[in-house]
Structure 1
Amino acid sequence: MSAGGIDIGPGVFIGEDELVENFIRSSGPGGQNVNKVATAVQLRFDAFNARGLPERVREQTIKLAGQRATKDGVIVIEAGRYRTQEQNRADARGRLTALVAKAAEPPPKPRRKTRPSKGAVERRLKTKAGRSTVKKLRGKIEND
Structure 2
Amino acid sequence: MNTSDSRVTLSWDVGATTALSPARRDRVLERLAGRLTGGVLSVTSETERSQLLNRREARDRLAALVEEALAPPPRKRRPTRPTKGSQQRRLDAKKQRGQTKRLRQERF
Among candidates 100, 118, 124, match of residue 88 of structure 2: 124
Structure 1: gaps spanning 5 or more residues: 1-26, 140-144
**In the alignment, is residue 112 of structure 1 matched against residue 86 of structure 2?**
no
Once the two structures are TM-superposed, the CA of residue 88 in structure 1 deviates from its matched residue by 1.4
Structure 2 counterparts to residues 55-70 of structure 1, below 5 A = 55-62=22-29, 63-64=31-32, 66-67=34-35, 69-70=36-37
Task: Tell me the equivalent position of 1:5.
Answer: none
Number of aligned residue pairs: give it: 102
Higher helix proportion (structure 1 or 2): 2
Structure 2 counterparts to residues 44-83 of structure 1, below 5 A = 44-62=11-29, 63-64=31-32, 66-67=34-35, 69-71=36-38, 73-83=39-49
Structure 2: gaps spanning 5 or more residues: none
Once the two structures are TM-superposed, the CA of residue 116 in structure 1 deviates from its matched residue by 4.2
Q: Which has the higher contact order (CA 8 A, sep 6+)?
A: 2
Q: Point out the structure with max Rg over C-alpha.
A: 1
Is the alpha carbon distance of 1:65 and 1:29 closer, same or farther for their aligned partners in structure 2, counting shifts above 3 Å? farther
Higher strand proportion (structure 1 or 2): 1
What CA distance in whole angstroms lies between the structure 1 residues aligned with 2:82 and 2:23?
Answer: 36
Identity across aligned pairs (percent)? 33
Is the partner of 2:69 in helix, strand or coil?
helix
Is the alpha carbon distance of 1:116 and 1:84 closer, same or farther for their aligned partners in structure 2, counting shifts above 3 Å? closer
What CA distance in whole angstroms lies between the structure 2 residues aligned with 1:99 and 1:115?
Answer: 36
CA deviation vs aligned residue, 1:69-109 (integer Å, no higher than 9, x gap) = 112x1111222222222111111101101101111221111
Q: Moved runs in structure 1, 4+ residues, more than 6 A?
A: none
TM-score (norm 1): 0.52
